[in-house]
C-alpha cells in the first residue's frame, strides 16, 4: 500500500504534527470547559479530522481507502497519545474515555469515507 501523493496526504501529515503538539502541550489554565465533557468532544473531533484527511487522500485518487489499516492506525494513535500524555506531561493524564472518544471520531470518519467511496463508485 503506497500513500497517495496529493494535498490531503500533506494535510493529514500536518494535522498529525499539530495533533501531537496539542496533545502533549501543558495546559496553562484550569478554566471551566464550555460544556461538560468538552475534552471528549475535542478528542473525537481531532481524530475525525485526522482520519478523514487520511481517507480523503485515497478518495482524491478514486481509490478505496484502506479502512482496516487506517482503523489499526487509529487504535495505535489513541493508545500512544494517551500513554504519552501520562508519561510526558505534568498537567495531563491518559484517560481511557479520551481514547474511546478518539476511536469514535476515527470510526465516524472512516465510515463516512466508505460511504463516499461507495456512492461515487456505485
Span 21-74, pLDDT tens digits: 988 887 766 777 788 888 899 999 999 999 999 999 999 999 999 999 999 999
Residues across the chain: 122
DSSP state of 66: -
Please tell me whether the overall predicted TM-score, pTM, comes out greater than 0.75 for this model: yes
Cα(90)–Cα(14) distance, rounded to whole angstroms?
Answer: 25
Cell of 36: 461538560
Cα(60)–Cα(54) distance, rounded to whole angstroms?
Answer: 10
Cα(51)–Cα(99) distance, rounded to whole angstroms?
Answer: 14
Amino acid at each position: 500500500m503506497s500513500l497517495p501523493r496529493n494535498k490531503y496526504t500533506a494535510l493529514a501529515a500536518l494535522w498529525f504534527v499539530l495533533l501531537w503538539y496539542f496533545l502533549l502541550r501543558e495546559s496553562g489554565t484550569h478554566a471551566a470547559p464550555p460544556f461538560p465533557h468538552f475534552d471528549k468532544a475535542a478528542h473525537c473531533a481531532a481524530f475525525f479530522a485526522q482520519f478523514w484527511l487520511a481517507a480523503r487522500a485515497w478518495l482524491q485518487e478514486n481509490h478505496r481507502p484502506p479502512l482496516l489499516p487506517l482503523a489499526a492506525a487509529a487504535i495505535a494513535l489513541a493508545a500512544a497519545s494517551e500513554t504519552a500524555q501520562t508519561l510526558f506531561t505534568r498537567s495531563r493524564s491518559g484517560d481511557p474515555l479520551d481514547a474511546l472518544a478518539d476511536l469514535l471520531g476515527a470510526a465516524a470518519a472512516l465510515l463516512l469515507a466508505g460511504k463516499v467511496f461507495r456512492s461515487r463508485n456505485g
